[in-house]
Amino acid sequence: MLLCVNVDHVATVRQARLGSDPDPVMAATLAILGGADGITIHLREDRRHINDRDLDVLRNVVPVELNLEMGATEEMIRIASRSLPDLVTLVPEKRLELTTEGGLNLNSSRNRLQKAIRVLKAKGIKTSLFINPSLDDVDISKEIGADMIEVHTGCYANAKGDMQERELVKVMKTVNRAVALGLGANVGHGLNYHNVSRFAETDSIRGLYIGHSIVSRAVLIGMERAVREMKALVRRS
């Protein structure tokens, strides 16, 4: 199972002063030293954290999977076609949101997503769709040509007790449906050191995509150690 670390919020701290530190490229390097199997960045339309320079440098220096999260816009498709990340994860994007709030609305954006996938795959870029825990969304993802999906785990992460168990079942049913259809199945959003083990226990999941909790811990103990500790949790499960 892959552990892919999102370094967006290292860039968030940098942008607070509009300076050059801390550098998400250095954070990515330390994450890889700590055992990360991939690095994720989200290049937003408003460039609120990760910027074009970050993408260009990371593309040149990251030896593991580089996953570019982005909206399915003409600008982002051009950028991805030029930079050639290993994986593009298409996500919904709202200017006023603090973070991605849920999965794509595949019914309303089906044609646009299918066109984006076609262009990206022609460039040899694997594509993933960030979806809600929904069997219908998995079926649509397969139909429009995605290589894999990433299931939004935010509701699971925010729930407690029996409600969390119900959310876990939803996510795992979605994962299993994807695997049955030949899609890679990833999960992410809100996963942390306390709740990740339930997903790490299964062989059905291709990758865990985690950012905020690792960066938060890294502020206190360092990026390499923070990633190493998360990697240990994944391996023990």
Q: Kindly write down the DSSP assignment for every residue of 80-111, as one continuous string.
A: HHHH--SEEEE----TT-SS--S---HHHHHH
Identify the CA nearest to 89 among candidates 139, 32, 133, 42. 42
Distance (Å, whole) CA 155 – CA 164: 8
| pLDDT score of 93 | 80
User: How many domains does the chain fold into?
Assistant: 1
Lowest-confidence range among 14-23, 101-110, 206-215?
A: 101-110
Distance (Å, whole) CA 166 – CA 76: 36
Lowest-confidence range among 81-85, 129-133, 150-154, 198-202?
A: 198-202
Q: Give pLDDT tens digits for 6-27.
A: 999 999 999 999 999 999 999 9
Q: Quick check: is 9 catalytic?
A: no
Distance (Å, whole) CA 24 – CA 38: 14
Mean pLDDT confidence for 135-159: 97
Mean pLDDT confidence for 188-217: 96
Q: Catalytic residue among 42, 49, 150, 224, which?
A: 42
Q: Quick check: is 194 catalytic?
A: no
Q: Quick check: is 49 catalytic?
A: no
Q: Catalytic residue among 9, 49, 69, 224, which?
A: 69
| pLDDT score of 99 | 63
Task: List Cβ neighbours of 136 (8 Å cut-off, separation of 6 or more).
Answer: 106
Containing structural domain, residue 174: 2-236
Band (pLDDT 50/70/90 cuts) for residue 235 is confident
Band (pLDDT 50/70/90 cuts) for residue 47 is very high
Q: What is the CATH number of the domain that holds 62?
A: 3.20.20.70
Mean pLDDT confidence for 87-115: 86
Mean pLDDT confidence for 211-216: 98
DSSP tally for the chain: helices H, then strands E: 11, 8
DSSP string, 13-38: HHHHHTSS-S-HHHHHHHHHHTT-SE
| pLDDT score of 96 | 58
Q: Catalytic residue among 49, 152, 189, 224, which?
A: 189
